[in-house]
Structure 1
């Protein structure tokens, strides 16, 4: 099990599962747009025992190894008519006509049943706004986990459901539907929840969380977007380490990827099961007949980095391949764990904060080029005296290319601070290792190198 510590996080240039370490994330919904993978997730609160979910978050990547926290893109407050205390469950976002539509299951006051809401934005990162002021579908039992796909003829379909699978045809406005709400019959073998519907090469796929509990990832195929569906088998077998699951599948830069989640970070902190989940990704290749191979679990299956990161452009500090935020400890509130996290406020959007001594950020596959980098600059705020950033390559304890002594800052304003570097050449994994006295040493907004 990969748990970061100062003396040895993985160093191969691959996505390191779970790919998000700074928060608990679940229900991955990847979308490719303009060469970027946008990964929408639900979010388990740090103190969750059962499901406690208030908002939806976004991460993005162009190389499948480094992921940038884009913050909260929607929350229960987006739908003021919804119950505000819980139930921000599995979302999916799709683009159409220059707009981006977020479908999410929520609860409404006065009803024990679920509904599906829709929000719209002008950009993948939002902000999303309530499109209807009321549910798109529902309320009814099991009306959650929506998945949406627009077929080649322009017809959009919305599927959802646990334990039954339902669908409806969406109109072109993506906020209304025509025709009946239809239940898929017979039920797909091993289907439980979390459907992910898409078409590819003339075939249609329905991936899903397989029968609880534990849950793996299974899938069915059809020659039609509305079935009949033929169960094919598991993408990942049922695994006792996961009582739940939720797939998301995309093609990106010539390869195929499946996302899902595990409880890896929860069990890194405590032996007690909580609904505190973590998203992972694995690359796969379709078989010649269009079927999907049976993959290993997330501790074996992963994805190689595709492309490199440019250190001479501004790099958001919350761009992370791996961070040392986690440690093994007895059962504690997740927010207690030493290391790095990201927060959001009015000063700089998302940035790295609560930085502690000996914590670090790894950025994978940084391409310094053939000419040496000569200088490192970082945007710093709330800095206390006696802090520094050590810049290591290859390993967390690898060669040091520079050390930036962090000068104390005045108040909460952002200041550019820099230091000379040497030995930064070629494609290297970069580690920003933080040193100083105790915790909350400074905040870090972005960094970049120069020649």
Structure 2
């Protein structure tokens, strides 16, 4: 069993600290991705779920495949806090506590569930182990008692510390698919290249009514291995006019700086969505609200909802802002990237358009892409048009990305595309219902290659697991 522990222990040891007997616990950082959790004082017994209840059971190489699946979890972004963690099962449910008992349930997205399913990592009883403190009951930790798992009030004893400590080890059921590209629930991904490196900016998902409050940034050199750069903008402390509905960010580079365009709503007062812009000196932030007010007010233009901003910069350096749900709008941005002439705003809504506009250019031709249908529908999909300029006129070409029910992929949409530096290789980032049990508020981010025919039309993208 120690050999299995060593496979993951090195990733944890750098961030976990040895606890001094009777001393205070210190925060620990966990690697995201698939793991199994072995009890430190019950070698060979692992956290698993059976009949929805959490318990500590023996697992060996000869155990049934279902047992191995039940003893495998994906460590993801904390549903209630990005500084803590949630544990997702292979069936798409989450480890949570209810009446102090540990169990697994599907994510309802409400504040109570998110808190119940979030755990903060602290030092375990031995070097390289961790204890998991309840987010909403911080004095309680996951503990095994008669092999059942509970959140029990912390006791300053060696026995309690041992019963509540676990080693993160190699998963009994290894990952068999390439997606999602970032573990956990993220949607509306905007992908870009800055200084030869890929950056991904998604909506933090898993909230009822999409009520998330913050954005994170991820970066990669190969589109496979991603670095989590943490929270780059939080509506709570960082945006005076919005405190929820942190949706669909997009980042552009100009003037030696980086501009984050985002949607926001308020919990009280004006609940309609508005668009803002934040600025930073690095693509990973931190970003600050550039204006202290919305860039586009909810009542500024008649028709449609002010969400889903996107910026395209042409070869001549001129940038254009696109946005809108129900109605698509576009306008030239001023050189400061934070203002425009409202009289120049154009309606550019193509047939079938719902939301999520995205524009790019290839071989002198402009492509306008968007999402059709509702993001809660399995028929959410991506279509596109082509045109002679960043403002059209646009000729519809058809649907290029949609569901694959035969492999359980649903709701493929709200995409962005990126060209690999120095090549004609293109990739499309998008969200789908989390596989296998996701829905319109439990979504995950995927990336696939996007190819073109000789006439410049886009070949249908086959979404992959």
TM-score clears 0.5: yes
Instruction: State the Cα deviation string for residues 263-284 of structure 1 (Å, max 9, x = none).
Output: 224x3xxx47461211000012
Residue in 1 that maps onto 2:456: 290
Once the two structures are TM-superposed, the CA of residue 231 in structure 1 deviates from its matched residue by: 1.0
For 2:175 and 2:412, the matched residues in 1 are separated by: 27
Stretches of structure 1 lacking an aligned partner (at least 5 in a row): 300-451
Residue in 2 that maps onto 1:413: none
Residue in 1 that maps onto 2:383: 218
Q: Does 1:113 align with 2:272?
A: yes
Residue in 2 that maps onto 1:246: 414
Residue in 1 that maps onto 2:200: 39
Query: Which is helix-richer, 1 or 2?
Result: 2
Matched residue SS, 1:138: coil
Residue 264 of structure 1 is aligned with which of 424, 428, 434?
434
CA contact (8 A) 1:194 1:208 kept: yes
Matched residue SS, 1:234: strand
Matched residue SS, 1:53: coil
Residue in 2 that maps onto 1:63: 222
For 1:80 and 1:188, the matched residues in 2 are separated by: 32
Give the 5 Å matches for 1:45-444.
45=206, 48-77=207-236, 79-84=238-243, 86-108=244-266, 110-140=269-299, 141-180=304-343, 182-185=345-348, 187-212=349-374, 213=377, 214-238=379-403, 241-243=409-411, 245-253=413-421, 254=423, 255-265=425-435, 267=436, 271=437, 273=439, 275-299=441-465
CA contact (8 A) 2:411 2:431 kept: no
For 1:215 and 1:288, the matched residues in 2 are separated by: 28
CA contact (8 A) 1:249 1:257 kept: yes
- More deviation, 92-101/230-239: 230-239
Once the two structures are TM-superposed, the CA of residue 239 in structure 1 deviates from its matched residue by: 5.8
Question: Matched residue pairs, number?
Answer: 285
Query: Which is strand-richer, 1 or 2?
Result: 1
Once the two structures are TM-superposed, the CA of residue 182 in structure 1 deviates from its matched residue by: 3.1
Once the two structures are TM-superposed, the CA of residue 184 in structure 1 deviates from its matched residue by: 2.6
CA contact (8 A) 2:448 2:463 kept: no
For normalisation by structure 2, the TM-score amounts to 0.58
For 2:322 and 2:388, the matched residues in 1 are separated by: 16
Instruction: State the Cα deviation string for residues 84-104 of structure 1 (Å, max 9, x = none).
Output: 2x2000010010121000000
Residue in 1 that maps onto 2:23: none
CA RMSD of aligned residues (A): 2.2
Residue in 2 that maps onto 1:30: 191
For 1:152 and 1:293, the matched residues in 2 are separated by: 25
- More deviation, 226-235/101-110: 101-110
